[in-house]
Amino acid sequence: MDNTVIVALGTLTITSIVTLLTKWIESRQKVNEHKLSLRNIYVNKKIQAGEELANLLHQRKLVFVSYYQFYNFFKDTGYVHTDMAYRCKVKTLALSELLSKPNYFSIYFDYEKKGSEISRLEVVINKNIQILNKASDLSEAKSDDEKKVISQELNILKESYKSQEIENIIKVVPLLNSLYTAEVEKVKSELSKYDFI
């Protein structure tokens, strides 16, 4: 009888230990699966944010290059090319629509820091764009009164920006494009860590 009790207790103990060990292994596996699932979500969101940032920088380059061409034509001829002005406005609207959507790339990437060279150059270009848009509006004005008002607004813009010693768009756009390209390369480099293929 003693052997039977010992064998039964031994079997019960071993079964209990195996059951506890199995449950512990299962719980560890579930924790690891949960961590892997969260990591997957993070990586997917980061890749998506990187794509959004690269797309945004590309769209900004397109807008600024369009205005760069518009500015060169305007500077050389003194004439507002309405087709160029229209294309610039369409690209600007597309960029505005892109910017109006929620984006999360600032969570994953260090972009658009206050006081950065990119921010400073974008301010310069945006001031030039305001002048070009006013010049475009002036060329589209129908009545003399409308032309007079827009012309006054254009002169006010030009004077306020001259007093701030605004840089020329011809100098700024190529520099800004190279900075955008460098930012895109940083994003690509960061995302290449997740290239599993």
Give the pTM: 0.66
List phi, psi (to 5°) of 114.
Answer: -65, 135
Work out the average pLDDT over 29-47. 91
Q: Which pLDDT belongs to residue 29?
A: 94
Q: Which pLDDT belongs to residue 123?
A: 74
**pLDDT digits over 94-138, tens only?**
887 877 777 777 777 776 655 577 777 777 777 777 777 777 776
**pLDDT digits over 54-103, tens only?**
888 888 888 888 888 877 777 677 667 777 777 887 888 888 787 777 77
Question: In whole angstroms, how far apart are CA 158 and each of 38, 72, 131?
Answer: 53, 17, 7
| 167 band by pLDDT with thresholds 50, 70 and 90 | low
Q: Which pLDDT belongs to residue 197?
A: 54
Closest CA to 90 of 118, 111, 120, 70: 70
Residues 48/49/53/56 CA torsion (nearest 10 deg): 70
Q: Crossing angle for the helix pair 82-100 and 117-140, nearest 10 degrees?
A: 130
**17 vs 92 pLDDT, higher one:** 17
**Whether the Cβ atoms of residue 172 and residue 121 lie closer than 8 Å to each other:** yes
Residue-averaged pLDDT of the chain: 78
Work out the average pLDDT over 153-171. 62
| pLDDT exceeds cutoff 70 at 184 | yes
